[in-house]
Amino acid sequence: METTKKTRVIVGMSGGVDSSAAAALLLEQGYEVVGITLKLWPQDCLSRAEDKCCGPQAVTDARAVCHKLGIPHYLVDESESFQKQVIANFAAEYKAGRTPNPCVICNEKLKFGALLDRARQLGGEFVATGHFARLEKSANGRRTLLKKGRDPLKDQSYFLFSLRQDQLARSLFPLGEKTKLDSRQAARDRDLKTADKEESMEICFVPDNDYGKFLEASKLAQRHRARLSTCRDR
């Protein structure tokens, strides 16, 4: 008997409830689901909150959810790209007197950039995340339109505004029509360990939400890297 090949979707697994629920819902919709967690920090994140998306607990939780759902899970090191494209931009924007939004850059360059590249390597047709946003086709079917999530309290479409058409066309947002309560209930119904996990509302890479301290530490680290580079060139 001929079998129908399932559409493979790569889900960005942050170790939180929303990405967990997204993976579960896609699996039940008949997709072949593969979970990927991006390792974004070059050093151990134990000095930061462990439940942040860069921390070891986040990786452990994402892996546990994938195991529970019976899907593959991969940890992909994108720490160098994160440093160059997100951290450096964050510091440069503050230095220039502007207020940056690193989540926008991270989504564009990594979650829907590097992750899409990994999806292609793994034969995935789409990338999915737990963002509360929706996608619709334009009236002529030529464009993919980014829309607000149905839950006005959790809409995250703003963080995705810079995505290109080629990125949107290959993206899925399973929680776009749902609320945060729906997301938690979906995780509870499937006995996922992240169901009641506390939300992370601040920038994931800034310890204790202390921007000044972080920027000063980043400046020192940049000087140290410059000195090492100079020594290697001699």
Strands 126-128 and 133-137: unpaired
pTM confidence score:
0.84
Active-site residues, by number, are 106, 204
Domains in the chain with CATH codes:
8-207 (3.40.50.620)
For the stretch 71-106, pLDDT in tens is: 999 999 988 888 888 888 888 888 888 888 888 888
pLDDT of residue 139: 94
Rounded mean pLDDT of 147-160? 95
pLDDT at 145 over 50: yes
Q: How far is CA 112 from CA 4, 165, 211, in A?
A: 27, 11, 26
3-state SS assignment for residue 10: strand
Place of tokens 């464009």: 143
From 11, 74, 42, 35, select the one nearest 205 (Cα to Cα): 42
d(Cα 24, Cα 101) in Å, to the nearest integer?
29
Write down the mean pLDDT value for the chain. Answer: 85
For the stretch 180-197, pLDDT in tens is: 999 999 999 999 999 999
pLDDT at 229 over 70: no
3-state SS assignment for residue 202: coil
pLDDT of residue 215: 72
In the sheet with 8-12, reading across from the earlier edge strand, the strands are 73-77, 32-39, 8-12, 126-128, 171-172
